[in-house]
Every structure is written in C-alpha cells, then in structure tokens.
Amino acid sequence: MSLPKTQKVVLIEKTGGPEVLQYRTDYPVPTPKEGQLLVKNHLSGINFIDTYFRSGLYPSPKPEVLGREAVGTIVAVGPGPNPYNFQVGDRVAWLGTGSYSEYTAVPAAKTVKIPNGIEDEKVLASLLSGLTVLTLAKETYPVKKGEWVLLHAAAGGAGYLMTQVLKQIGAKVIGTAGGPEKVALVKSLGADVVIDYRSEEGKDWVKKVKEVTGGQGVDVVYDSVAKDTWEGSLEVVKRKGTIVWFGNASGPVPPLNLAILSPKCVKVARPMLFGYIQTREEFEFYTNELFNLLKSGQLKVRIHKIYPLAEAAQAQSDLEARKTTGKLLLRP
C-alpha cells in the first residue's frame, strides 16, 4: 500500500489556551517501529485530559500532537513479533498519544480489533471514557446495589456513561450538572436525583444531598470537577465512605491535610485509567466488557458533535466552556 509522506495534524509547541493548537498539513507520516502499528484514523476522541497537556497542568514533552484515542484502519505493521496477530486492513481502536492526526504509530499492546456490528462512532464515544467508567465502578470502588452514589458532571463524556453503569448496578444515583438541559439529560438516564449545581437553588447541593440521603450522606462520591466541589464532596460523604477524585475540570484539589479524613474515616482514591489496563489481559478484559455492553445496547452513547480536525481548538474551547454534553470527536 502506498502511503503519503506527509499528513494533517494538530500539535502544540508550547503550553497555553486553545490558541496554542496549530493545524499543520505537512507533518511527517511516521514509520511504525517494533511493537507498533501504523493506523489511518477515522475518528479521534477529545478528552478533558487533552486540555491538561495543553495547559501544562500535566507535563509532557513538546512539540506534541495531542489526543489519546482513535479508531481507524491498520495500514502497516511494525517489524518483529506480532503477538496479537494484527493485519493490514483490520479495523481497530487504540489508546496512546498523538491521535489528533490522520496517521499515528500506535502501541500494538493498546490496540484492539473492533467486532463487526459496532460502528466507529459508538466505539470512540465510549472508549477512553467508557473504560474509565468501568474501572471506576468495578475496581476503584466496587459499587453495590442500593448504595447512594454522588456523581459530579453527570452529563459529560464520562458522566453520561457512568450514570448508566451505576443505574445498571442498581445504585441510587445523585447527579450534578450545570443547567436545565443537562439536568433533563441525566434524568432521562434514570438518575434518582439530579441537581443543577449552577442554579440558585442547586448551589447548596451539599444540603440537598444530605436531605435525600436522610442526613447519612453518600457511600461514594465520584468527583472529576475537583477544585470547586472537593469540600462539598467531603461534607456529603458518609462515615466510612469513599471519595474517588478522578479529574480536574475546575482545577486540582488543593494540597490536602490527610488528618481531615479521620473524623469520618473517609477513604480517598486518585485513580487513572492506564493504571487499570496495564497488562494485555486487563486491557482485553475491559475492552471486551465495553464491546459487549455496546453490542447488546445496554450502554448508549451520546456524541455532542464531530468536529473537523482543523477545528480542534474550537472543540477544546467548547468543552472547557461547559457547553457540551456527551462526547466530542474529531474527523481527521
């Protein structure tokens, strides 16, 4: 197969706001090394984590082609052993770096063939976000039927999927979301209580959570908003409860004196998806589970919009401005 020498990508040379994203049309197409595959990306996912690498909250070498996931077709297999038997032409999903691009050299160990019958859009609207959600609900804190769960940003890319997974487990879900449309969306997923934490009435969401849990508080809080919600999350978690801090949408949790956890014997977890899918076995376990949920229709996806690659900066701005629900995708 003859491949082009150059391609279109979105990269950053320095940290900053969305304006540092550069759309380039002359970036070299990489050659896959041992353990890698060259994938022609059909769709690339936008995740909040991309904004952390852009802003510098998470350090990474620059220049950097942003993006952590895509679906596409294998166009070349790197030299050497091919333990997962990938072939040119396979339709795959992958996790790695550099997906805001037409072609990416990706790690074979974090690539998986997509079963027939599941569309690209469905896979990518739930790949990084869905795997995160499954690991959070099953490993970080194994949620049990009947437990009270507080989930912040429940209408977002991860939140939309998490609400469904929690309800399937049989948890009682309290979601927070900004604005009436987002609230209606989360309610439509079966959440028991949804609070518009940006409204006048919902601003005191701590009081409301205490009320609906009969003053007990929740068994677990899933908090990806962090800076703005952290103190409230600590207040509404019940005695012996757990707070799962898994993102920084409003900024990271400020430096913490661990002694504040002792009065209620609270546990705090700070998980990261890649820590749960390090081995091939773990990666396949969770991707199989995700594909089964998608295939059976048990997990619905929601795509806010598919942006052209050249509009990656606009997509990140929309995400950070809290204008979106569900997942944002890029079409290279």
Q: Residues in the site for ligand NDP, rule: CB under 6 A?
A: 47-49, 128-129, 132, 153, 155-159, 177-178, 182, 224-225, 228, 246-250, 271-273, 319-320, 322, 324
Minimum Å distance from CB 68 to ligand NDP?
9
Q: Measured between alpha carbons, how far is 151 from 136 in angstroms, rounded to an integer?
A: 11
Nearest Cα residue to 137 out of 217, 244, 279: 244
As measured in angstroms, the least distance from the Cβ of 60 to ligand NDP is 15
Residue 75, classed as helix, strand or coil, is strand
Are 131 and 277 in contact, with CB atoms under 8 Å apart?
Answer: yes
- Nearer Cβ to ligand NDP (130/217): 130
- Closest CB to ligand NDP among residues 102, 196: 196
Torsion angle (degrees, nearest 10) of CA 88, 94, 95, 96:
20
Q: How far is the CB of 45 from ligand NDP (least distance, A)?
A: 8
d(CA 170, CA 160): 16
Give the number of other Cβ atoms within 10 Å of residue 276's Cβ.
Answer: 20
Nearer Cβ to ligand NDP (48/103):
48
Residue closer to ligand NDP, measured from CB, 31 or 279: 279
Kindly tell me which of 127 and 171 has the beta carbon lying closer to ligand NDP: 127
Of 37 and 162, the one with the shorter C-beta distance to ligand NDP is 162
Token pair for 297? 């229709």
CB of 190 to ligand NDP, least distance (A): 17
CA–CA distance from 309 to each of 177, 222, 315, 330 (Å)? 28, 31, 9, 5
Alpha-carbon 325 to chain mean position: 13
Shortest Å distance, C-beta 163 to ligand NDP: 11
Q: How far is the CB of 284 from ligand NDP (least distance, A)?
A: 18
